[in-house]
Structure 1
Amino acid sequence: YHGTKMAEINDIVKDLWQKTYRGQDIDYIEIKSDVDSSGEAGSRRNYNYRVVMVKANVALDMRGRCSAGQKVLASLVIRLALSEAFCCDCSILALDEPTTNLDSENILALAEALSVIIQSRRNQSNFQLVIITHDEDFVRRLGASGFSEYYYNVSKDLEGQYSTISKRPFSLLS
């Protein structure tokens, strides 16, 4: 089961990475799992996981070899893949500051990838995407996909004491 599930996850990770990453230095990423042989005989198998980047069929550990933006994007891609692989009709996807440390090209690619995910879940009546961000350009790019007319903005009231939530049309961001 573990090997089959890891293959499924890695297929999704590879696909999402290739759809989002705009750099030329990494073809795709994947999760490698090694059996931890230090466990007791007869006990459940334990695995050690690591993320590798692949270029021209050569895999290198990402740890210590990638930028902050690549780490953020890899983390997002892996979380999206895990939710897709393990959640049947996952109804909510929440991302907190997903554009942190991404350059503008990869922010655009992330918005496009999320649009593809939204499109694929469109027939799922209970699907919700919650994005917490300060990046208005990212919100604008998501709004341009046409999947929603509105977004919610959280801000302080005029006195600065309380938070207010307002529903706003994406058209105001243009």
Structure 2
Amino acid sequence: LKIEHSKLIDNLKLEIDTLKKELNTAKKEYFDLEGVHAILNELQQSIRDAEQEQKAQKKLLDESINRGKELEKKKKEFEQKIKELDKKYLELSGKIVVKADAESLELRYQDLIRQEEKVKGQIKSEQAVASEKKERIAVLVGKKHDYENILKDVEWISQTKKLMELFSGALLKTQEALREEFVGIVNEVMAEVWPTLYPYGDITAVKLEIENRDYVLKARTTAEWVNVEGITSGGERSLAALALRIAFSLALARNLGMLVLDEPTHNLDVNAIDELAITLRERLPNLIDQVFLITHEERLESAVSGYLYKLERNKELDEPTKINLIASPEI
């Protein structure tokens, strides 16, 4: 019986370990938000099954206890009968009895002893079963408690997911609204500065549009709006880009007082450079207080209406850079 009891305990431990692994697996799986409702239904069904099994095990435990009480009662009755038979045996041992009667009593006595041992074995077996049922019920109660905690976690995750979806949607709408508002402000500024930068009739306006989640700079010709990239000349693209930079600056910093241009003649032809020089000298001062121009293009010297500095350095002699004032308003 001890060996069987030990095996039962080992089996219960294995079953407990298996349940723990299943519980850990369930905890990992419930973080998959896409399958959370399926897991919730399975857990609810598992709790209902566990509750039914708990009721059945309790019923079996009660029956085992009652059976044990009945066997204990029979054991006492058998013990009493054995005592009575022992007494009769002693009384008969001092008398002359028929040999057949003595053998019959001896057989009856041995039978009662065997029945007593059988009853004792049944009682131990019932007690072991009752103990096993108690442990099983305790495991099921713990499992039910764990499932209830998981259900609470799943519910919290579901609510959090809904809130995050609402927040994400609100954030996207806010971004779209801010982007549209910013593009509108940029286009208003470009509408004001473009006639100053480009006082010709072939391109009357430029604007920024959003197409396929991307920004596109467009120019309005006498016929229609066209993309600046690939349609207009190099000088026109340069002025459109300059208008866009000015608009960005004014939209982001209302009190903009200066503009810094570093090598703005890149990819411009001679006519475009001359047009840029005129724009910098005659038109930008109406929009910007100060313009800092850094360039290697000598043709842009005509764009200077303030101070002009020339930086020179003899690399072969490794001399320091020399700064010479070429022009100023006072000169």
TM-score (norm 1): 0.69
Contact kept? 2:310, 2:326, Cα under 8 Å: no
1:132 match: 294
Match of 1:82 among 248, 253, 258: 248
Distance 2:237 2:216 in 1: 13
Local SS of the residue matching 2:311: strand
| Structure 1 unmatched ranges of 5 or more | 37-46, 122-127
- 1:152 counterpart = 2:318: no
Distance 1:159 1:4 in 2: 54
- 1:13 counterpart = 2:170: no
1:164 match: 321
1:78-125 CA-to-partner distances (Å, cap 9, x unmatched) read 11111111124346532012244125234312332222233xx3xxxx
Contact kept? 2:309, 2:327, Cα under 8 Å: no
Distance 1:135 1:23 in 2: 25
Q: How much is the aligned-residue C-alpha RMSD, in angstroms?
A: 2.9
Local SS of the residue matching 1:112: helix
- Range moving further from structure 2, 151-160 or 12-21: 151-160
Contact kept? 2:206, 2:240, Cα under 8 Å: yes
1:3 match: 180
Give the CA deviation at 1:31.
0.6
Q: 1:88 to 1:105 in 2, by over 3 A?
A: closer
Local SS of the residue matching 2:232: coil
Distance 2:320 2:223 in 1: 50
1:49 match: 215
Letter in structure 2 aligned against 1:53: A
1:39-96 CA-to-partner distances (Å, cap 9, x unmatched) read xxxxxxxx31101110247211222211122222211111111111112434653201
Contact kept? 1:154, 1:163, Cα under 8 Å: no
Q: 1:32 to 1:158 in 2, by over 3 A?
A: closer
Local SS of the residue matching 1:3: helix
Contact kept? 1:53, 1:60, Cα under 8 Å: yes
Contact kept? 1:99, 1:107, Cα under 8 Å: no
Contact kept? 1:108, 1:138, Cα under 8 Å: no
Contact kept? 1:30, 1:53, Cα under 8 Å: yes
Contact kept? 2:277, 2:303, Cα under 8 Å: no
Contact kept? 2:193, 2:287, Cα under 8 Å: no
Distance 2:241 2:320 in 1: 30
Contact kept? 2:263, 2:296, Cα under 8 Å: yes
- 1:112 counterpart = 2:282: yes
Q: 1:22 to 1:107 in 2, by over 3 A?
A: farther
Greater share of helix: 2
Letter in structure 2 aligned against 1:140: S
- 1:32 counterpart = 2:209: yes
Count of matched residue pairs: 149
Contact kept? 2:274, 2:299, Cα under 8 Å: no
- Range moving further from structure 2, 161-170 or 17-26: 161-170
Q: 1:92 to 1:141 in 2, by over 3 A?
A: closer
Question: Matches of residues 96-111 of structure 1 in structure 2 within 5 Å?
Answer: 96-100=262-266, 101=268, 102-111=272-281
Q: 1:139 to 1:12 in 2, by over 3 A?
A: farther
Contact kept? 2:208, 2:217, Cα under 8 Å: yes
